Structure formats: C-alpha cells, structure tokens
Amino acid sequence: MDDLAFITAVAAGMVRSGTPVLLAAVGECLTERSGILNLGMEGIMLAGALTAVIVSYLTGNIFFAIIAALAIGALIGLLHAFLCLYFHVNQVATGIAVTILLSGITAFCGIDYVGKSIHSISAYKVPWLSELPFFGSVFFNQDILVYLSYAIVPLTYFLINGTRFGLSLKAVGEEPRAAAAAGVSVFRTRCIATALGAMLAALGGAYLSLVYAQGWTENITAGRGWIAVGLVMFASWNPWKAVLGAYLFGLAISLQLRLQAAGADVSPYLLGMAPYLLVILVLAVSKLRQKKIPAAGPTALSIPYLPQV
C-alpha cells in the first residue's frame, strides 16, 4: 500500500471511528445546553447497541433496529430527566448510576447474542461525490448513518441557535427562573432536550453494533460515552467543534488499527491506549485555554431547578 492509499484508508477510518462519539457528543451538547448534565451516555450507548442487535436479529430489518435504539434512548433520557427534575436527584450520581446499571443489564441480556449474525449496514457510494479525489473515498464512501451524522450536526446547531425552541433551551440553561417568568416551561424544555440527546447517544451505540462491529460484544462502547461527555467541554457546547474532537479521536483509533494491521513494532497495549491518552491531552489543553478565555457554558448546568411556590 502506497503512502496516499494508507493516508486515505486512515482518514476514511477516522470518519467511521469518530461517528459514534460524534453522535453522542452532539447529543450531550444539546442536553447540557438545557442545564441537565447526563453522565449516563456510556450506558445509553450500550443500551442502543444491544437493542439494535436484538431487533436486527429478530426481525432482519435495519430500519426497525434503528427506531428501536432511538426509542430506548428516549426512554432512558426521559427517566434521567424525570429523576433530576421532579425528584431533584443529584445529576452526577444519577448519570453514573444509569451507566453502571445499563452496563450490567446489557452484559447479562447480551450473552445470547454474542457472535450472532445480524443484518448490518453496508457502505454506499454517493454518485459523483464518491469519485472526488481523496475526499470522495473519505467522506462519500461511507454508510447511511455516517451521512445522517453529516446532517445532524448542522441541524442541531440550527435548532440551538436559530429556532424559538433553541432560545428557550439556552434560557433554561442560563437562567431557569427568568425563563419560567417569561412563560417557558423549564421542565418540558429540559425533558425534550435530554430525550433528544439520549436518542443521539443511542444512535451512536446502534452505529457501533450495526456498522462498526457488526455484532454484539460486552462493553462494545469501550468508554466512548465518557469520551463524548468530555469532548463537550472541548467543543464549548458547540456541535461544530464537537466534530473536530470526535474525528480527532477517530483518527487516533483508525491510525492505531492500521499500524497494528501493518505489523508495527509497537506494543498493541500502547497503541490501544493512544486514542484515550490523546483525548486526555486535548482536554487538558482545552482546560488551560479556558482559564484564559472562559467557555460560554450554561451557568445553570447540573444545578437543581426548584420553582418558587
């Protein structure tokens, strides 16, 4: 394989590897904008991945598998929002509990589906665009969920910054009492945002099982949900910046896989650690940068909303 082919293969792998993290990170951006911190993204991705595998195996229908993953994500997101908003449970504790609980449930329920053959999603070349030099092979010789992610990022950005709902979303994330005084339902807005964010995380999980691994294995996410949560700070709650962080992680994953396949004289354990070490480094640099230029994060993030009676 010549140098250009190697670079093209690594770049295409970057997009595939970064897509599940990107979907979850964009979902967390949306959720946190409303003032809700959801640390259950890892568990939600696992639930989405297993649900997609089960439905795909039982029905043979990819569309049903994706819809089922979105539905389970919405239910878990609403449960998290319900606990945080109506019972004022600590958001950090709730998110961690959701991840621990779903990690155990998916490991137990997924035993019978390990190694099962399922209907997966194949790559589809976009006519004409896939023929473009380099960029065609990297961005337009992918699967339908990758193409969907291309649309989700600008749509989420527009939803946050260009719609009435987005205005309400930012208002309840900054000053929920003022938003409520203006007639905005803090509970409804936060529930919708949390459900939508969890749906995107579940879709990222479904991508892992239907496209990336094409099957189920225990802990298939391998920490990607936690990476997505961390990248939100790096992205300054901006979906476009989340693309950079997710693809950077995807690039590290793709590169280490290609190096292992090429028989590089480097310990596979060190190569496996590299993507996560890179994310830690990026987050550390981002934190140092934010000390000089504070990020415009939601001021009411993770603070319980107690309406005045």
User: Could you give all domains of the chain from N- to C-terminal order, each with its CATH number?
Assistant: 3-292 (1.10.3470)
Q: What are the beta bridge partners of residue 124?
A: 142
List Cβ neighbours of 52 (8 Å cut-off, separation of 6 or more): 65, 66, 68, 69, 205, 206, 209, 210
Measured between alpha carbons, how far is 118 from 244 in angstroms, rounded to an integer?
32
pTM, to two decimals: 0.94
Angle at 87 between CA 100 and CA 236, to 5 degrees: 65
Measured between alpha carbons, how far is 233 from 219 in angstroms, rounded to an integer?
24
Q: What is the pLDDT along the chain (309 residues), one digit of tens a residue?
A: 577 888 999 999 999 999 999 999 999 999 999 999 999 999 999 999 999 999 999 999 999 999 999 999 999 999 999 999 999 999 999 999 999 999 999 999 999 999 888 988 989 999 999 999 999 999 999 999 999 999 999 999 999 999 999 999 999 999 999 999 999 999 999 999 999 999 999 999 999 999 999 999 999 999 999 999 999 988 889 999 999 999 999 999 999 888 877 777 777 777 778 888 888 887 787 777 666 666 667 999 989 888 765
